[in-house]
Amino acid sequence: MKAANFAVIAAVIAITAAGCEIPDNPADPNISPPHSRQDTIPAACVFTPERIHIIGLTEIIPDASLGYEAVLSIYVDMFDGYDSHIKAPATFRFELYEFVPRSSESRGERLIIWPDIDLTDGAVNNGYWQDYLRTYHFELQMSFMPAPETRFTIEATCTTQEGKRLSNERQIKYTLPGSKFPRGGF
């Protein structure tokens, strides 16, 4: 009985060690060899942008150098299909609208549309990337100083290298510096 068990184990090891792959030169040239596991893994794993989000650090800051204008400091998260923060080549466009309360469409008249920001160059992209936050940071000059407690709607549109357009809106409120809650989001 022990000899029979030994023979079965030896046969299983011999079959397993020999493998099931077809040699590089099969007898019939019309038969292609089966795909190995490496053939099923893509050559490069690419995680492309799937959505963007304007985060709560976004605010309007008075520009002390000019005294009558302000700067929109905007932070934008970019996410892949797995909801992970990523950075990727893209072009961003930002627009500022009046906020219309108690309306299904909160965007009123467009006040500012800034020139597109092209982040397809690696060095430029890295200049806007805040690695410690895993987000992009933009500072956009405004052509006016908003009145205190004024609300706005900001729209960010991102066009990826694949041509996909991603958008996000956020309402912010300008509060005077030094007030109890100086951040712009509400």
Q: What is the pLDDT of residues 120-139, one digit of tens each?
A: 999 999 999 999 999 999 99
What tokens appear for 35 in the block? 């795909």
Q: What is the pLDDT of residues 154-163, one digit of tens each?
A: 999 999 999 9
Please say if the pLDDT value at position 54 is more than 80.
yes
* For the chain, counts of helices (H) and of strands (E): 3, 10
Q: What pLDDT was estimated at residue 103? A: 80
Please say if the pLDDT value at position 47 is more than 90.
no
CA distances from 143 to 70, 74, 100, 184 (A): 7, 16, 21, 18
Please say if the pLDDT value at position 79 is more than 70.
yes
Residue spans per domain, the chain: 2-40, 51-173
Smallest CA-to-CA distance from 96 within 120, 69, 66 is with: 69
Q: What is the CATH number of domain 51-173?
A: 2.60.40.10
* Residue 102 CB contacts under 8 Å (≥ 6 apart), including other chains: none
Share above pLDDT 70 across residues of the chain, in percent, rounded to a whole number: 68
